[in-house]
A and B are shown apart, each in its own frame.
Chain A
């Protein structure tokens, strides 16, 4: 038995190394399956919970055009959630169980959604920075080793890039607008900059899953690599907008051809991850409430479908 097991593992790794996509019916190590279920479902949960901070501003958007864009964006996010739950289901996870894990706090979602949206400029910042960070995380996932996840990410990334451009455009409009608007943009950047850097996860040294995930080509870059890319990409954009990045240690490093930047507040990061961010309780509470208050609707739909099927059967007989 053991020999067979080893061979399967070896064959699996050989396929990964040759950049062959793994598909649902292929053999895969249990730990690979588990890691993917964890990662994809957390990704799906992030789309779901991520609807809340932006949904918070739909009824207050300052123009009808912005309101339309925001609504359509949140609708896209619900769609991303659906793709991702489906991708996770190909690994044998059930959506009910994944949701139960979200509601019980066992499964996580992106820490960024535990920050509150306090002004309209947050819609710009979330699109520009948060979606920008998401894209950096997600573009490499279009080549991740598990086929259904990679394919879902291709679709997600297309829409996500569009959202990011929209977010930047909101910022640009604010920065070219009245002084109050510019101040609103700066204030939002001050609040969102560090939390966005945290989206890439803990430092490589403190990231227990990275090594294995890289070996399995689930992940293609380390957290710190992506964080560096993000800073290098965003600082010029902030400068273009005439905004100041809230980091006194930020400085161009000629030797590494990248920016040096200050230390993320890891204590805050872990607090938020552990449930002690500003909105953790509200976000999870809103999801649980929606799920519980929607139970009778889901039951009704099931009961009706059953009645229909029975009627069709009686008719056929």
Chain B
């Protein structure tokens, strides 16, 4: 099925195969926001200054809100009476489809800022495009989330610049963080086979189209931050197909503990 950009389609017009594909994809988006939000929420009460504790909790909360809209849509696409909580709390690490970047540990504030910037730069530009999706629900979710993502990108860009062009120590720390995290940035814009299939239908944006704007913003931020853009780094992939780093298992052990211990209850 090829959908022209001006048309909108509703859930019930999808073929069962497309529904299944889209279900998997929406899960991937939801997992991504959930895991990154989880990481940011670990900062709660431990930030470098109260204002930044607030900012990180705020971003985590936005991401969690996006997560819930996406899981709710995924559950409808699947049509098997699973809830947002079933999807979040009762799936295994290998069933989680978030890219590797967002499951990386918080490290120090520089690691968190670098991770956030690399993600926000993708997320914001991606949502701008997704807003125009012929899929009404995805378009509506993107419409809301992109406003938040713009704020996140502003926050992480500003901190990249402050840390890069701050003190010698902050610059070194940020540089080290980028040295660790850069290899996970490519996965964000590398489509899996499943994503390629959906891109071909026109329902989700082609990541190649995002690259110029992402690059332009990244170059601008790196220049202001007086940092060189890393070159020739081997890019790790796998998360979007359920092959994760060892960090994810621990996140899920914590995240899912209550639902696993007390299955099937209302909270």
Confirm or deny: B85 has a beta carbon within 8 angstroms of a beta carbon on chain A: yes
Confirm or deny: A36 has a beta carbon within 8 angstroms of a beta carbon on chain B: no
A64 contacts B68, CB within 8 Å? yes
The one of A78, A177, A286, A299 in contact with B57, judged by C-beta atoms closer than 8 angstroms, is A78
Nearest neighbor of B54 in chain A, beta-carbon distance = A78
Taking the closest CB of chain A, its distance from the CB of B173, in whole angstroms, is 7
| Residues from chain A with Cβ under 8 Å of B166 in the complex | 299-301, 303-304
A290 contacts B47, CB within 8 Å? yes
* Distance in angstroms between the alpha carbons of A256 and B259 in the assembled complex: 46
| Residues from chain B with Cβ under 8 Å of A52 in the complex | 45
Confirm or deny: B255 has a beta carbon within 8 angstroms of a beta carbon on chain A: yes
B-side interface residues, number (CB < 8 Å):
49
Which of B53, B68, B110, B258 has most chain A Cβ within 10 Å? B53
Report the tally of A-B residue pairs with Cβ distances under 8 A. 139
* Distance in angstroms between the alpha carbons of A183 and B259 in the assembled complex: 17
| Residues from chain A with Cβ under 8 Å of B254 in the complex | 59-60
A300 contacts B162, CB within 8 Å? yes
| Residues from chain B with Cβ under 8 Å of A281 in the complex | none
| Residues from chain A with Cβ under 8 Å of B46 in the complex | 286, 289-290
Confirm or deny: B24 has a beta carbon within 8 angstroms of a beta carbon on chain A: no
Bitwise interface map of A from 285 to 310 toward B, beta carbon under 8 Å scored 1, else 0: 01001110111111111011001000
| Residues from chain A with Cβ under 8 Å of B68 in the complex | 64-65, 68
The one of B44, B50, B54, B110 in contact with A58, judged by C-beta atoms closer than 8 angstroms, is B44
A298 contacts B255, CB within 8 Å? no
The one of A48, A51, A59, A64 in contact with B88, judged by C-beta atoms closer than 8 angstroms, is A64
A290 contacts B45, CB within 8 Å? yes
* Distance in angstroms between the alpha carbons of A78 and B169 in the assembled complex: 28
B53 contacts A78, CB within 8 Å? yes
Once A173-B267, A299-B169 are accepted as A-B contacts, the answer to whether A82 and B50 lie under 8 Å apart by CB is yes
Confirm or deny: B257 has a beta carbon within 8 angstroms of a beta carbon on chain A: yes
Taking the closest CB of chain B, its distance from the CB of A47, in whole angstroms, is 9
- Residues of chain B in range 70-121 having any CB-CB distance to chain A below 8 Å: 71, 84-85, 88-89, 108-110
The one of B52, B65, B109 in contact with A68, judged by C-beta atoms closer than 8 angstroms, is B65
* Distance in angstroms between the alpha carbons of A157 and B60 in the assembled complex: 24
A177 contacts B84, CB within 8 Å? no
* Distance in angstroms between the alpha carbons of A300 and B32 in the assembled complex: 30
The one of B41, B64, B265 in contact with A64, judged by C-beta atoms closer than 8 angstroms, is B64
Confirm or deny: B161 has a beta carbon within 8 angstroms of a beta carbon on chain A: yes
* Distance in angstroms between the alpha carbons of A79 and B55 in the assembled complex: 10
Chain A interface main SS type: helix
Bitwise interface map of B from 201 to 236 toward A, beta carbon under 8 Å scored 1, else 0: 000000000000000000000000000000000000
Bitwise interface map of B from 154 to 175 toward A, beta carbon under 8 Å scored 1, else 0: 0000000111011101100100
B51 contacts A59, CB within 8 Å? no
A300 contacts B45, CB within 8 Å? no
Segment with Cβ contacts to B, from A69-77, A199-207, A219-227: A69-77
Once A59-B41, A59-B254 are accepted as A-B contacts, the answer to whether A300 and B167 lie under 8 Å apart by CB is yes
Confirm or deny: A120 has a beta carbon within 8 angstroms of a beta carbon on chain B: yes
Bitwise interface map of A from 194 to 223 toward B, beta carbon under 8 Å scored 1, else 0: 000000000000000000000000000000
Nearest neighbor of B251 in chain A, beta-carbon distance = A59
| Residues from chain A with Cβ under 8 Å of B50 in the complex | 48, 78, 81-82, 85
Confirm or deny: A61 has a beta carbon within 8 angstroms of a beta carbon on chain B: yes
* Distance in angstroms between the alpha carbons of A35 and B64 in the assembled complex: 41
| Residues from chain A with Cβ under 8 Å of B258 in the complex | 60-62, 120
Confirm or deny: A147 has a beta carbon within 8 angstroms of a beta carbon on chain B: no
Confirm or deny: B21 has a beta carbon within 8 angstroms of a beta carbon on chain A: no
| Residues from chain A with Cβ under 8 Å of B108 in the complex | 293
B165 contacts A307, CB within 8 Å? yes
Confirm or deny: B67 has a beta carbon within 8 angstroms of a beta carbon on chain A: yes
Name 10 A/B residue pairs within 8 A (Cβ), A-sorted.
A59-B255, A64-B34, A64-B88, A67-B41, A75-B54, A78-B57, A174-B267, A294-B109, A296-B167, A303-B170
- Having A174-B267, A294-B49, A300-B166, one finds 18 other A-B pairs with CB under 8 Å, namely A55-B41, A55-B44, A63-B89, A63-B267, A64-B88, A67-B41, A67-B64, A75-B54, A78-B50, A170-B267, A286-B45, A290-B46, A294-B47, A297-B49, A300-B162, A300-B167, A303-B170, A307-B165
The 5 closest A-B pairs by CB, nearest first: A294-B48, A300-B166, A300-B170, A62-B258, A55-B44
